[in-house]
Structure 1
């Protein structure tokens, strides 16, 4: 398909479906953790995902050779990916999907802040600063307000979700600021999966028994994460990113915490009180402002002065 300048019906449906898939994945991890130890589960997922992505690249005839000058960045992005999923899988073992979704999907906040500090030309606008403040306030409200049934969620689990969100943003910054920015997305994903697999599998025994009496549903959950989420889902999202403007794709990120809260309540019976709804509202409002495209004033045809830099068409 030809690259598009605006979002169409197919894009809206696809990105809404992807946001729903991410929320379903949080529920899947929560349920699968009951049968498979979280770090071992994360390692098996990376292993299966690496095999699938490698097979896909071979099928498409894409090179798997390490591009000159990318090895250090590839190792770094793989380590960040490892820590992200250590924190996320432990978070979903300790806290609820509703709380984890509100906190974890604040990733654009940390990406915006990191880009403002580290990347040239990524200065924060007033609307982004307001959005950042709202999202941080919502996240803080979710962490500090411990409403709901006692024992349903732990503070440590909430903090792990926050750490996972920051690692996710660091991965995006590394991909944009290093030599990896010239590498195909499939190769970036392969770096993350290949580096994380041995680390997670070797670390897993230190977190307790590898299996927790798994049944068919737990193995099915693992297979769903490998095939549908890590392989097909991530590649589909990367394809959408190549088809539509990045700002339009990013603007749908506010749907993931909404779907996460709804599915945690509907499928797992988790408590959704005023404290979660207030936090969710603040985070979503913040994400909308952060992802708003910058609109530049028109420049008169006879104005000799150079205008502000425009994003590439």
Structure 2
């Protein structure tokens, strides 16, 4: 199969999986609070990743000079970002979660400038402005309840921290397997969250956890969304350049919005679409190639 076509399939699948993730989180978080949900999701994911890593005989050794970088990726991306993302989805809607976090590629430009010293072009600056205005319209101007506004703020934090983590990943030496980097960063998040989660686990309703919808959702979040989605995305970017690959991020808000409407009965206001259009326009400015 053509490399471009295969890479496109990988990236489209990853983004579609993440779009569906917001609907699953919205259902599961009604039973499992965000902090506990992230922790349980990662336990499932790390078991899956370790099994695949052992079967494929990955090299798990990390050099000392790269240790701090891996820890930072785990804390910022896998702990703070994902907890904020799932808390934001709980307080708002699946559509809002998918749309606001789709501003991540635009915010990456800022961190690339600060950390990697990449030059910011006028087009990139405009994209940041449009994405920011779009997020503010959704959070502040739309006719939302106070909890939804808080959820929007949490989702914005998730987008910013995920963008920062994505730029930090670019500083990881290329001789490391992406599976190894993902596994270690998830392990860091588990270690960080465990002291906060363990005292709260006894409050979970085990009868509700036994429901097929809830444990099925947990398997989706851990194996499909976390382990599978990350690996599909990274593999796709190996076959396509980053600019072309970023275009497939659009599948996330589209799938999230569609599934939220179909499965959860969520409604969408005009201001939501105005904000979404600005965010997607801003992201498109970043990822489009110059002709």
**TM > 0.5 between the two?**
yes
Alignment match, 2:63? 67
Three-state SS of the structure 2 residue aligned to 1:272 is coil
Alignment match, 2:32? 36
The one-character-per-residue Cα deviations of 1:226-270 (angstroms, maximum 9, x if unpaired) are: 121112222122111111222111112123122222222221111
Alignment match, 2:99? 102
Distance 1:236 1:228 in 2: 10
Alignment match, 1:53? 49
Distance 1:234 1:198 in 2: 20
Which structure: greater helix fraction? 2
Is residue 82–residue 192 contact of structure 1 (8 Å, CA) maintained in 2?
no
Distance 1:206 1:109 in 2: 38
Distance 1:73 1:16 in 2: 29
Instruction: Tell me, yes or no, if structure 1 residue 79 matches structure 2 residue 75.
Output: yes
CA RMSD of aligned residues (A): 2.1
Higher-Rg member (1/2) = 1
Which consecutive unaligned segments of at least 5 residues does structure 2 have?
Answer: none
The one-character-per-residue Cα deviations of 1:136-190 (angstroms, maximum 9, x if unpaired) are: 1111110112315x47x5221111111111111111121123x455422112101
Bigger drift between 49-58 and 204-213 goes to: 204-213
TM-score normalised to structure 2 length? 0.91
Structure 2 residue corresponding to 1:115, chosen from 96, 112, 123:
112
**In structure 2, do the counterparts of structure 1 residues 180 and 93 end up closer, same or farther at CA, with 3 Å as the change threshold?**
farther
Is residue 142–residue 272 contact of structure 2 (8 Å, CA) maintained in 1?
no
Is residue 38–residue 82 contact of structure 2 (8 Å, CA) maintained in 1?
yes
Q: Quick one: higher RCO (CA 8 Å, sep 6+), 1 or 2?
A: 2
**In structure 2, do the counterparts of structure 1 residues 160 and 207 end up closer, same or farther at CA, with 3 Å as the change threshold?**
farther
Structure 2 residue corresponding to 1:165, chosen from 152, 156, 159:
159
Is residue 44–residue 201 contact of structure 1 (8 Å, CA) maintained in 2?
no
Instruction: Tell me, yes or no, if structure 1 residue 190 matches structure 2 residue 183.
Output: yes
Distance 1:145 1:68 in 2: 48
Alignment match, 1:129? 125
Number of positions where the alignment pairs a residue of Structure 1 with one of Structure 2:
287
**In structure 2, do the counterparts of structure 1 residues 134 and 209 end up closer, same or farther at CA, with 3 Å as the change threshold?**
farther
Which consecutive unaligned segments of at least 5 residues does structure 1 have?
Answer: 296-313
Distance 1:46 1:208 in 2: 15
Q: How does 1:1-313 map to 2 (within 5 A)?
A: 4=3, 7-8=4-5, 10-80=6-76, 81-120=78-117, 122-147=118-143, 150=145, 153-177=147-171, 179-204=172-197, 210-212=203-205, 213-214=208-209, 215-294=211-290
Is residue 12–residue 248 contact of structure 2 (8 Å, CA) maintained in 1?
yes
Deviation at 1:125, TM superposition (A): 2.1
